[in-house]
Amino acid sequence: MHDRRVVVLLVFFVTLGQCVLRKDRAYWEELGTNELDIALRTKYNLGVAKNVILFIGDGMGPNTITAARIHKGGESYKLSYETFPHVGLLKTYSADKMVPDSASTATALMGGIKANDKTLGVDASVPHRDCNASLRPEAKVESLAAHALRAGRSTGFVTTMRVTHATPAPMYAYSPERNWECDAATPAPCKDIARQLVEDWPGRDFNVILGGGRQSLIPNATSLENDPTSAWACSRQDGRNLIEQWQTDKGVRNLSYCFVENTNELKNAPANTDYLFGVFSNAHLPYEFQRHAESPSIVDMTEAAIKVLQRNEKGYFLMVEGGNIDMAHHRGRARTAIDETLAMEEAVRLAYNMTDPEDTLIVVTSDHMHSMTINGHPERGDNIFGTVGPSRYDGLNYTTIAYGTGGPGSRQFEAQMVNGTNEVVRRDPSQDDTTSFMYEQIAAITLEENKHGGGDVAVYASGPYAHLFHNIHEQHYTYYAISYAARLGRYADRPTENNAFSIQANIILSSVSMLLVALTVL
């Protein structure tokens, strides 16, 4: 467990130094000695993680975090989870792809195996879109959420995406196609993801479900000014109203439940609520900068979720997804992606303050990265969304942030008369507001939209057994580390280690066992 006072002190010094852009020797020595002091004070927490909160910043690669840090407080600033005592890297490739999608990576994070691209909740024996293969019981993967329920703990998720989308779905569904979110898109005999959430275990027993996706849950969803329907989302056609089914199920079982549709209802849910279902939009929730009063923020939803889950004395598992980070990156809008990253960072800060690091493991990571880069040699303190240059090749400035791939809006070239000849040249970014939420940074290759990146992503951890994140790990290792820390699944009966002596004892016993095996072989 880390010392909160030391962390706060460091953040104070870092922030103070950044505000005045100090460069003197004493400043750097102060930063270095304070970081060393924190490292020397760090101790392993060997308690049981009664509670687990897994934050997934969809598409939040290392460069995204760096840009968010610079935008919020400057180069020396630290985001809330960057003060966590333990950090590692996750290799994000899927079973069949070097660069993965969100369904396969979420399955890895919460299911403990690497799956094929665009499949969820099933192992790699299931090819993409093979319905019959996905129905085999042995192909299905039980998630951390399911293990938590089996252990008598509460569970749930928060997302800024549809509740049937690729990241939350592997918690409760088994599908060879991530887009089979409602009946209109799903072939028989497979069952759509929305029905699996409401009708099947473990989804029907989730204590918290908060996000968007009304279109997949009810027939004839209505498009409103602040809540349009989306051609990207699946529209239910079988007449089932799964929201009403969820309410009926909870009523028949005499459970304390509440369904909410806006911010006010969410914040005023009864204190005795054990099952909270909130659907706040037809498709995904709006970006933070476009959010209206009736649409809750990721912070609002995280707070409401923890309040419900904390009612269970045995503990809980909660997944929180900042999905609009990915949505913004797909459109090449770096300012919006960074804004969404900082919104999730505030949710992490709130969760940390609402819980006790002695018994709550908080893990912050991403499912995959995007191809966003931070370029050139801007001055310290410059706007991360500004320009730098000029290029000696064409004499024009360029944006500090760029992408490897981008949609049509990122093709910033135009025909101009150059030396009497009509040539295609790069557009001068000084003609545009590069700090706008809607500005699309230039990309090397123009596609229909920005594609994912295949690099490693960071993982930050605080709480019991947070030190298990310490290296370059396979992404599905996250499932095993959390399971061990929280005594879930295969580790439900593991002995509790209360001090460093028990670790040394285990090492000695393991060494003795290996020696005996070696002697036996000889």
Contacts of 3 (CB under 8 A, 6+ apart): 38, 41
Confirm whether 233 is domain-assigned: yes
CATH of the domain at 336: 3.40.720.10
| Same-domain status, 246 and 328 | yes
Instruction: Give 217's contacts (C-beta < 8 A, 6+ positions apart).
Output: 163, 164, 182, 194, 198, 236, 241, 242, 243, 279
CA 79 from centre of chain: 15
Look at residue 414 and give its three-state secondary structure.
Answer: strand
Handedness of CA 273, 276, 280, 286 (dihedral sign): positive
> Do the bridges between strand 360-365 and strand 51-57 make them parallel or antiparallel, or are there none, so unpaired?
parallel
Pair of tokens at residue 488: 């879930």
Q: How far apart (Å, rounded) are the C-alpha atoms in residues 397 and 320?
A: 39
Domain co-membership, 35 together with 52 = no
Q: What is the pLDDT along the chain (522 residues), one digit of tens a residue?
A: 344 444 444 444 444 444 568 889 999 999 999 999 999 999 999 999 999 999 999 999 999 999 999 999 999 999 999 999 999 999 999 999 999 999 999 999 999 999 999 999 999 999 999 999 999 999 999 999 999 999 999 999 999 999 999 999 999 999 999 999 999 999 999 999 999 999 999 999 999 999 999 999 999 999 998 999 999 999 999 999 999 999 999 999 999 999 999 999 999 999 999 999 999 999 999 999 999 999 999 999 999 999 999 999 999 999 999 999 999 999 999 999 999 999 999 999 999 999 999 999 999 999 999 999 999 999 999 999 999 999 998 899 999 999 999 998 888 887 776 777 777 788 899 889 999 999 999 999 999 999 999 999 999 999 999 999 999 999 999 999 999 999 999 999 998 776 444 445 444 545 555 555 455 445
Q: Is residue 522 part of a domain?
A: no
Strands 154-162 and 472-474: unpaired
Same domain flag for 347 and 402: no
Assess whether 389 and 481 both reside in one domain: no
Residue of 298, 259, 293, 299 whose CA lies nearest to 279 = 259
The verdict on residue 512 lying in a domain is no
Chain centre to alpha carbon of residue 100: 14
> Which parts are annotated binding residues for Mg(2+)?
58, 165, 167, 321
User: From CA 511, how far away is CA 505, in angstroms rounded?
Assistant: 10
Indicate the angle between helix axes 25-41 and 4-19, nearest 10 degrees: 160
For residue 391, give Cα distances in angstroms to 102, 103, 421. Answer: 36, 40, 21
Using a 10 angstrom Cβ sphere, with 0-12 exposed, 13-18 middle and 19 or more buried, the burial of residue 100 is buried
Q: What is the β-pairing status of strands 457-462 and 86-91?
A: antiparallel
Would you mind telling me the total number of residues written for the chain in this entry? Answer: 522
DSSP secondary structure, 135-186, as one string: T-GGGB---HHHHHHHTT-EEEEEEEEETTSTTTGGGT--BS-TT--SGGG-
Q: What torsion do the CA atoms of 511, 513, 518, 522 make, to the nearest 10 degrees?
A: 140
DSSP three-state, residue 283: coil
**The domain containing residue 428 runs over which residues?**
381-446
Task: Tell which of 413, 446, 479 closes a domain.
Answer: 446
36 and 70, same domain (yes or no): no
One domain, residues 37 and 52: no
User: Exposed/middle/buried for 50, CB within 10 Å: 0-12, 13-18, 19+?
Assistant: buried
Position 204 in a domain: yes
* Cα angle 287-291-295, degrees, rounded to a multiple of 5: 110
The DSSP bridge pattern shows strands 86-91 and 421-426 to be unpaired
Residues 229 and 258 in one domain: yes
Q: Report residue 168 as tokens.
A: 């939350």
Residues at the annotated binding site? 58, 165, 167, 321, 326, 330, 367-368, 452
Burial class from Cβ neighbours inside 10 Å (0-12, 13-18, 19+) for residue 380 reads: exposed
- 356 and 385 share one domain: no
d(CA 325, CA 508): 46
CB 160 within 8 A of CB 321: yes
Whose tokens are 């072939």? That residue is 187
3 state DSSP class of 419: coil
Residues 424 and 314 in one domain: no
Res 4: pLDDT: 47
Q: Is residue 507 part of a domain?
A: no
Do 18 and 53 belong together in one domain?
no
**Residues with catalytic function:** 102
Q: Taking the mean position of all CA atoms in its chain, how far away is CA 33?
A: 32
Query: Does 482 map to a domain?
Result: yes
For residues 145 and 198, state if they share a domain: yes
Domain-embedded: residue 516: no
- Specify whether the CB–CB gap between 110 and 104 falls below 8 A: no
* Amino acid present at 237: Q
Report if residue 499 sits inside a domain: no
Task: For 190, list phi and psi in degrees, rounded to 5.
Answer: -70, 155
The annotation places the binding site for Zn(2+) at 58, 326, 330, 367-368, 452
Distances in whole angstroms, Cα of residue 387 to Cα of each of 18, 234, 375, 395, 400: 21, 40, 9, 13, 5
pTM over 0.85? The answer is: yes
84 touches 2 (CB < 8 A):
yes
- In this structure, what token pair is assigned to residue 93? 């490739």
50 and 38 in a common domain: no
Query: What is the tally of structural domains in the chain?
Result: 3
Which of 26, 28, 40, 9 is CA-nearest to residue 76? 28
- The pLDDT of residue 518 is 52
The DSSP call for residue 75 is T
The residue among 319, 284, 325 whose CA lies nearest residue 62 is 325
